[in-house]
Structure 1
Amino acid sequence: MLAVTEPGVHTITAMIATQLFKTSLLENVFGYFACLDPCPMLLLQPKDESAQQFSKERISPLVRVTPTLREIVGTRRMRSGDESILFKGFPGGFLALAGAGSPDNLARRPIRVVLADEVDKYPVTREGDPISLAEERTATFGNWLSIRACSPTVEDQSRIASSYAESDQRRASVACPHCGHRQFLDFFHHVKWERADDRERSHLPKTARIFCEACGAAWSEGQRLRALSTARWHQTRPYQCCGGLHEPLEEYARAWRALNPDDSHDAALSQVWDWWASDLHAVYRARCPTCGRWPLDNRHAGFTASKLYSPWTKDRPADIAAKFLAARGDEALKQVWWNTQLGQPYRAHHGKDVRVEALAARAEHWSGEVPEGVGVLTAGIDVQGDRVEIEIVGWGRDEESWSVAYDVIEGDPDSPDLWKEVDAALLETFQREDGRPFSIMAACVDSGGHSTQTVYSFAKDRIGRRVWAIKGESARSGQRSPVWPTKKPSRKTKAAYRPVIIGVNAAKDAIRNRLALDKPGPGYMHFPHDRDMGYYAQLTSERITVKEVAGHRFFVWELPAGRANEALDCRVYAYAALCGLQHFGLKLNAMTERAALPYGELPATPAGQSEAARGLVSQLA
C-alpha cells in the first residue's frame, strides 16, 4: 500500500495469487485519494458488466460502511445528475468505472489515477491496448499514477507478467520465528511434506509445512501467520552496474550463507539492499556492492506474492500442497495451480524458463563427428519454399541427445537436384573418434507444407531405408496424440501411400522439458560449439497457447508472428524418427551399450551398413 505514496513511483504492478490483496489495494487507493488527495480516477474492468458488478459489490459497500467516504461520495450536491453506478463523485474529483473493451470509455476526460483490474482479460480494441489508451489520459498530470492488478495466465501471453517483468520486481521477505533469518518464501524451496511408508510412497500433503532455509526448523501455522507481520518488500530485478550483472536474490543467498554464527542477520541484508522508509514509503532498495548507488529506479514498482503469504485459513501450506498434487498430469489444472496459488504465469515445461543465452553458454567441444554416448543417429528434415534444412541427432541412453550436424540445402523443393543432395546427406557416414562409423538409421521428412507430392515420392522410394514422410497432427480438444501413432493402419491405408501422422505437440512438450534440464543425463540435450544464436532462438521460438473448444480448454504450441522455427521442426522430426524406430522394436539403451564398446571388439558390419543399423535389422528379424 505504501508504494502508492512512495516518492518517484508512477506505475504499480500487482501480479499476485488470487484472493490475496488485489481488491483491497484498489479499494484502499480509491478511499485514500477520495478522502486525502481528491482527483479524477478511472477504474477499468474487462467488461462494462464487470465494472457495474465491482461498483455494486465493492465500491458501494465500502462507501456505505466508511463514515468519511459516506460523507463525501454521492452527497446531495453530487447526486444532482452525474451520480450513477459507474460514476462516483466527491468534492475535487470522481471515480469513473468502465469496461476496457470500449475505446469511447478510455478517451473522454483527463484522468490522474488509473486503476486497471483483471488486465489479462482485456481485449485489444480497434484503437490498441486498453491500458495504454487509459494511461494516455494521465498526460496532463505530473503526479499521475497507474495501478495494474491481476493474477497471471500463460507465459508470453500474460499482460500482468509482462508488466511485472518491466518493473523493479519486488518480492517480500519474512523473518523466521525461530532464528530471525529473512527469506523469500518459495513453495518448491520451503514447503516439504512426508510420504507414507508403503509400496507407492504415497504423498501426505496434510503434513506440509514451511521449513526455514537457514536453521531448518519447521513453522507451525501460527508461526507462519506471525511471520507474515514481519514482511518487507525488496527490489529483486537483476541489473547491470560497474561492469557486471548483479542478481540481488543470488547475492543475498551467498551473503547469508557466508555469515559467521555470531553475525547479525541484517549483515547479509545490508550487503545487497538499503532500507528506505518513512511514514509514506517502506522498501529495501537494491544497492550496487561496488559503487554503493541505487541502480534500480522505482518509477515502476512491481509486486508478486504466492498464497504462502495469505492469512486465510484455506491457504495453509497443506492446502497448497494438496492442490499441487491433485493437478499433476492435467495441464489445465496445473495452469490454475500456478496462476492462483503461486501467482506466477504458467509454463508448460515445469515452470522452468529456457533462455537462449543459457543454451548457447553450455555448448560443448567433442572429439570426432559423433561424441561418446551416442548409439543411434536419426535425421529430421524441414521443407521450406526455397530450401531444405536437416538436423542429424545422436541418441544415447534414456534419450540423452547430441546435435551432430545441421545443414541447409538451398534450392527449389520441386527440383530433383535438391533431393539428390538430400539423399546424399542421408547416406553420409559419421565417425566417432575411435573410427566407429554411424549411419542415419531413420529420417522423417515434413510433407505438410511445401512440395507434398515430391516429398511423398522421395520417401516412398526409400521406405526400406526408413525414410518416412510425416505430417503433424495438432492436439484435438486437449488430447495429445503420441509422437508416433500406435493405431494399426487399415487395409485401405495400406493400399495407398500415406504420410505418418505424428503428435507434434507431444514432441514439443518433450523437447521443451528437456531444454530446461541443466545436467547431463536422461533426456539432456547437448549442443556443439558451432551453433549460432539463431539456431537456439528457433529452437525456443514457439509458445504454449490456450485454446478453447466447446468449453474445454487445452494447450497447443504456436509460432509467434515474425519468428522462425526451422530448428525446432527439424528436432521434432528427428525425435519422431527415433520414436518410429522404437515403435518397430529398437532397444535404444541396448543399442547404446553395444555402440559404446571399442570399435575393434565388434565384428565388421556389411558394406554400406553401420553397426547400429545391423543391430536394428537383427532385432526386427
Structure 2
Amino acid sequence: MNAETFLMPSPYAAEVLGANAVRINHAFASGLRPPPRLSVAEWAERYREFPDDAPLPGPWVHSNAPYLVEIMEALSPHDPCSEIDIMKCAQSGGSASGENWIGYISDVAPGPLMYVQATITAAKDWLAEKFWPMVESTRRLNPEKGGTVMPKGARKGDGSTSLRVRFRRGGWMLIAGANSAATLRQHSIRYVIEDDLDQFPDNLDNQGSPEGMITARLRTYARQGISKRLGISTPTIKGGSKIGKRYRASDQRRFYLKCRHCGSRFDPVFSDLRWPDGRPDLVELVAPCCGVATAHWEKALMSLADGWIPTVEINGEKPPRVMAEQEVAYWKARDLQGRRRGYHITGLISAFMTWAQLAVGFVEAQGDVNKLKTWTNLDMGDEFEVKGDAPPAEELEILREQDWGDGQVPWGPSIFTLGVDVQGDGLYFEGLGWAYGLENWGLGKGFLPGPTDVPGEGAWALLETVATRTFVMPGGKAYGFDQICVDGGYNTEAAKAFCRRSPKRLVVFGRPGWSMPILGRGQAIAFELGRNYRRKARKKAGDDAHLVGTFGAKLSFYGALRVSIEYAKSGGKGPKPRGLVHFGRDATPDYFDMLTAESVVTEKVGGETRRVWKVDAGRQNHWLDCRVYNRAAAEALALDNLSEADWLAGQAQRYAAADPNQGDLVSMMNRPLSESAASSAAPETSAAAVAAGAAAAEVPNQDPDDDWIDNRDWSF
C-alpha cells in the first residue's frame, strides 16, 4: 500500500465519512441550540390527548378550562416565577396542569423531576391511573410511537421502572411519598410537584417536614435560578391547611368573570348564587356588578384566559371585587414585591362543576358541620374555619327529657346502636336510638368494671349481657341492637373476640385527621401517617381495620348539640334541625362534662401549625368516645342515606302490633341498659347490678319478616 492510497479513502468511504460529519454537525448544533420558545400551555394544546374513555376524550382544548392557561404559562421555563401553588376544589383540572408540565419537561426542557404524593402508595397509584394512560394516549410521549418517555422494563436497564420514569431526551421523574424519607433523599432536583399537599405529614421520622426535605433537594438548581416548584391540594382546616398557608403567603390570585350584560369584571362568591325556596337545582348567579341573573350555561362565556388578578393587600391596597374592564391592567401591573404565585380554583369557576351541584350540596350539608366542612373543602375549594369550643356543659341540661320512665323507649327511634369505649379497668357504654335526619335519643349508659385484657372475662362478660338486651316497641315487638361498635385501640384481641360472636358487632379504631371519613376501611391497624414501619413485619391478612375519623365525628356531634340547644330554646319552633339530640333523665352534670371535654387547639409540629382536638386539662372524655362510636355504628348502617319515606316505612313495620301468639310483650318490663345509669361517672357500679338490669340471653328480632335493616349487606 503506497502513501497516496493510504491518505485517500475510497469513494464509498468518503461518502460514509461525509454523512457522519453531517450528523455530527447536526448533533453539535442541536446541543448548542436553546429549547424552543414554547410554553406549557402551547405544548398542551398542540400535543396533549385524552383516551376514548376519558370524560373529555380527544385533544386538549383550552376553552374547556380557560383558568388553567395562565397556570401552565407560569410553569414554563422562560417565566421567572419559581413557585406556584394551587388551592383548588376537587376535580377542577389543577392536577391535569401538572401532568401537562411533566409531558412538557420530557419533550422540551429535560431535567430531574420529582413527583411527591402523600404516600408512596398514592404516588404509585397516580403513576398507574393517570401518568401512563396520558403517555399511551399522547403520541408525543408514547414510547411505542417514538415518544419522549422511555418504555417500562427496557432490557438494557435504561427504561422506566416503578419508581423512576426516564425521558428519551435526558432527565427523569422520580416517584416519591411524603411518608417515606428514603424517597426524598440523595437527589438534586430541578422540578418538583407536591400533589395533595394537605395530606403530607407534619413531621417525617422526626426529621422535620417533607416540604423542608424537598426544599433541600431543590437547592442546587434554585441557586442558579432555574428550579420550578408546583404545590397542588384541596384545603382542609383553616389554620392547619398547608396549601392554605402557602396561598396566603402568595399573591393570592382570584379568577374574575366578565359579565355578559355590563362588561364589568367580578370575583364570584357563593353568596352571589340565588335560588327559589326548596329548589337549589334552579340556582342562578346574580352578578354583583349589574344585578342581572345569570344562568350556568353562561359561565363558559364569562370565563376568559386573562381572568386571574392578584388580590393580595399591599400597602393597604387590594383590588375591588367588581371592577371596570379598564382597571384590570392596573391591578395586574402593580408591584407584588416578589411574592410567589398562588391560584385559587373554586367550585364557582370550575369547568367541571355546575352551580346547581354547589347549591344542592350546600343545602344537603345544612345541620351537619362535618358535611359542611367536606362541602367547603371539596366542592368550594375553601378552607373550613372550625369553631372548636364545645357548648357549655350546663347548657345541655335543656335537652334532658324528664318524662322517660325506666325501661321505656320514647316514641321516635326505630334503630338502635351501642358504642363501647375500652379502658384498662372496665368498659364505658352508651346505647342510642335513631330516627330520620339522624335524630337520636340516649337510651342508657354505664360503666362495667373489671379487667379487659382477657377475652370473654371480666368486663367483657358483663358487656355480653348488655349487648344482648332488647327494646320493646309500642306495638309489642322486641328488637335488639342493630349495630354495636367497640373500640379496638386498647386490648385489641379481646375486643375482636367479643365482636366475633355476632355479625352486628364491629371493632373500630379511632384515628385523628380532618380528611378521614367517619367510618372507613383499608389501612393497617397500626398505621400512622408519616411513621416509619419499614422494620416491622408485613401486615397480616385481616389487619385492615374499620377506622373511625374522630375529628369529623366530634365536629358533627358538637354542631348537632349547638343546633339542638337553639331549637330547644326556641320552644321547638320551625323545622327540626338535623341530628337533633335528646338526653334521658340519667344524663347527669358529670356526664355532660365528659361529653364537652374536648376542644380544637392549634399546635406546632415540625415547624408546621395544625388544628387538633384535645381533651381539656383535668377532664375525661369517655362518654364523648361512646358517642363517636355510636356515630360510626350509624354510618355502618348507612342511616344517613335513608330517605324520610324509608324511615317512615321502617318505623311502621317495627311499631306495628305484635303477633297475638307471641304473648303480651307490652306488659313485660323492658329493662334498662343499666340500673346504674343514673350516674355518668359510675365506676362504683357493681357487676351484679349491671347483670340484673340487662336481658339474660340474646333475643332475636321478634318479626321474622323484618328485613328493613338486618338483612342488608353492610360490608365495606
TM-score (norm 1): 0.51
Does the Cα contact within 8 Å between 1:174 and 1:231 map onto a contact in 2? no
Q: What CA distance in whole angstroms lies between the structure 1 residues aligned with 2:629 and 2:94? A: 31
Aligned length: 350
Q: Please name the residue that 1:311 is paired with.
A: 351
Q: What CA distance in whole angstroms lies between the structure 2 residues aligned with 1:223 and 1:4? A: 29
1:10-29 alignment runs, 5 A limit: 10-29=82-101
Does the Cα contact within 8 Å between 1:43 and 1:96 map onto a contact in 2? yes
1:454-473 alignment runs, 5 A limit: none
How far residue 237 of structure 1 moved from its aligned partner, in angstroms, is 0.8
| Cα separation, partners in 2 of 1:545 and 1:81, compared to 1, 3 Å | farther
Aligned residue for 2:283, secondary structure, equals strand
Determine if the alignment matches structure 1 residue 222 to structure 2 residue 297: yes
How far residue 508 of structure 1 moved from its aligned partner, in angstroms, is 7.7
How far residue 349 of structure 1 moved from its aligned partner, in angstroms, is 4.8
Aligned residue for 2:344, secondary structure, equals strand
Does the Cα contact within 8 Å between 1:209 and 1:219 map onto a contact in 2? yes
| Deviation sequence 1:176-222 (CA, Å, 0-9, x none) | 1122111111112x211112xxxxxxx21022011211121222232
How far residue 135 of structure 1 moved from its aligned partner, in angstroms, is 2.1
Q: Please name the residue that 1:171 is paired with.
A: 254
| Deviation sequence 1:32-91 (CA, Å, 0-9, x none) | 111110000000111111111111111111111112212221159966225212211012
Determine if the alignment matches structure 1 residue 7 to structure 2 residue 7: no
Q: Please name the residue that 1:102 is paired with.
A: 180
Q: What CA distance in whole angstroms lies between the structure 2 residues aligned with 1:295 and 1:337? A: 32
Does the Cα contact within 8 Å between 2:275 and 2:284 map onto a contact in 1? yes
Q: What CA distance in whole angstroms lies between the structure 2 residues aligned with 1:102 and 1:325? A: 40
Q: What CA distance in whole angstroms lies between the structure 1 residues aligned with 2:153 and 2:553? A: 60
| Deviation sequence 1:495-540 (CA, Å, 0-9, x none) | xxx868448859989xxxxxxxxxxxxxxxxxxxxxxxxxxxxxxx
Q: Please name the residue that 2:379 is paired with.
A: 341
How far residue 21 of structure 1 moved from its aligned partner, in angstroms, is 1.5
TM-score (norm 2): 0.45
Q: Please name the residue that 1:35 is paired with.
A: 107
Determine if the alignment matches structure 1 residue 72 to structure 2 residue 148: yes
1:159-238 alignment runs, 5 A limit: 159-188=242-271, 190-195=272-277, 203-238=278-313
Q: Which of 170, 187, 204 is 1:125 aligned to?
A: 204
Aligned residue for 1:67, secondary structure, equals coil
Q: What CA distance in whole angstroms lies between the structure 1 residues aligned with 2:173 and 2:199? A: 21
Q: What CA distance in whole angstroms lies between the structure 1 residues aligned with 2:153 and 2:247? A: 41
How far residue 475 of structure 1 moved from its aligned partner, in angstroms, is 8.5
Structure with higher Rg: it is 2
Q: What CA distance in whole angstroms lies between the structure 1 residues aligned with 2:91 and 2:354? A: 13
Q: Please name the residue that 2:233 is paired with.
A: 150
| Deviation sequence 1:594-613 (CA, Å, 0-9, x none) | xxxxxxxxxxxxxxxxxxxx
Aligned residue for 1:216, secondary structure, equals coil
| Cα separation, partners in 2 of 1:49 and 1:228, compared to 1, 3 Å | same
Aligned residue for 2:140, secondary structure, equals helix
Q: What CA distance in whole angstroms lies between the structure 2 residues aligned with 1:500 and 1:61? A: 56
1:239-318 alignment runs, 5 A limit: 239-240=314-315, 245-249=316-320, 253=322, 256=323, 265-270=324-329, 272-273=330-331, 284-285=332-333, 287=334, 294-298=335-339, 300-312=340-352, 315-318=353-356
Q: What CA distance in whole angstroms lies between the structure 1 residues aligned with 2:584 and 2:294? A: 56
The one-letter code sitting in structure 1 at the alignment partner of 2:241 is S
The one-letter code sitting in structure 2 at the alignment partner of 1:89 is R
Q: What CA distance in whole angstroms lies between the structure 2 residues aligned with 1:475 and 1:60? A: 38
Aligned residue for 1:125, secondary structure, equals coil
The one-letter code sitting in structure 2 at the alignment partner of 1:268 is E
Does the Cα contact within 8 Å between 1:41 and 1:114 map onto a contact in 2? yes
| Cα separation, partners in 2 of 1:553 and 1:165, compared to 1, 3 Å | farther
Give the CA RMSD over aligned residues.
3.5
Aligned residue for 2:85, secondary structure, equals strand
1:335-374 alignment runs, 5 A limit: 335-349=373-387
| Cα separation, partners in 2 of 1:181 and 1:499, compared to 1, 3 Å | same
How far residue 130 of structure 1 moved from its aligned partner, in angstroms, is 0.8
Q: Please name the residue that 1:517 is paired with.
A: none
How far residue 132 of structure 1 moved from its aligned partner, in angstroms, is 1.7
Q: What CA distance in whole angstroms lies between the structure 2 residues aligned with 1:151 and 1:499? A: 40
How far residue 229 of structure 1 moved from its aligned partner, in angstroms, is 3.5
Q: Please name the residue that 1:60 is paired with.
A: 132
| Cα separation, partners in 2 of 1:316 and 1:148, compared to 1, 3 Å | same
Does the Cα contact within 8 Å between 2:254 and 2:344 map onto a contact in 1? yes
Q: What CA distance in whole angstroms lies between the structure 2 residues aligned with 1:39 and 1:129? A: 25
| Deviation sequence 1:349-397 (CA, Å, 0-9, x none) | 59xxxxxxxxxxxxxxxxxxxxxxxxxxxxxxxxxxxxxxxxxxxxxxx
Q: What CA distance in whole angstroms lies between the structure 1 residues aligned with 2:101 and 2:610? A: 39
Does the Cα contact within 8 Å between 2:598 and 2:613 map onto a contact in 1? no
How far residue 119 of structure 1 moved from its aligned partner, in angstroms, is 0.9
Does the Cα contact within 8 Å between 1:15 and 1:150 map onto a contact in 2? yes
| Cα separation, partners in 2 of 1:76 and 1:236, compared to 1, 3 Å | closer
Does the Cα contact within 8 Å between 1:55 and 1:86 map onto a contact in 2? no
| Cα separation, partners in 2 of 1:552 and 1:134, compared to 1, 3 Å | farther
The one-letter code sitting in structure 2 at the alignment partner of 1:184 is D
Q: What CA distance in whole angstroms lies between the structure 2 residues aligned with 1:144 and 1:174? A: 32
Does the Cα contact within 8 Å between 1:174 and 1:230 map onto a contact in 2? no
- Structure 2 residue runs of 5 or longer lacking an equivalent are 1-71, 389-551, 566-580, 601-608, 615-623, 634-716
| Cα separation, partners in 2 of 1:329 and 1:234, compared to 1, 3 Å | same
Q: Please name the residue that 1:438 is paired with.
A: none
Q: Which of 92, 104, 107 is 2:170 aligned to?
A: 92
The one-letter code sitting in structure 2 at the alignment partner of 1:219 is T
| Cα separation, partners in 2 of 1:488 and 1:229, compared to 1, 3 Å | closer
Aligned residue for 2:247, secondary structure, equals helix
Q: Please name the residue that 1:323 is paired with.
A: 361
| Deviation sequence 1:248-278 (CA, Å, 0-9, x none) | 23xx64xx4xxxxxxxx323334x51xxxxx
| Deviation sequence 1:333-359 (CA, Å, 0-9, x none) | 101110011111111359xxxxxxxxx
The one-letter code sitting in structure 1 at the alignment partner of 2:359 is A
How far residue 157 of structure 1 moved from its aligned partner, in angstroms, is 1.4
Which one has the bigger strand percentage?
A: 1
| Cα separation, partners in 2 of 1:175 and 1:500, compared to 1, 3 Å | same
| Cα separation, partners in 2 of 1:476 and 1:311, compared to 1, 3 Å | closer
Does the Cα contact within 8 Å between 2:239 and 2:610 map onto a contact in 1? no
The one-letter code sitting in structure 1 at the alignment partner of 2:130 is R
Q: What CA distance in whole angstroms lies between the structure 2 residues aligned with 1:106 and 1:507? A: 36
Does the Cα contact within 8 Å between 1:56 and 1:85 map onto a contact in 2? no
Q: Please name the residue that 2:3 is paired with.
A: none
How far residue 542 of structure 1 moved from its aligned partner, in angstroms, is 11
- Structure 1 residue runs of 5 or longer lacking an equivalent are 196-202, 257-264, 274-283, 288-293, 351-473, 510-540, 555-621
How far residue 476 of structure 1 moved from its aligned partner, in angstroms, is 6.1
Q: What CA distance in whole angstroms lies between the structure 2 residues aligned with 1:3 and 1:552? A: 46
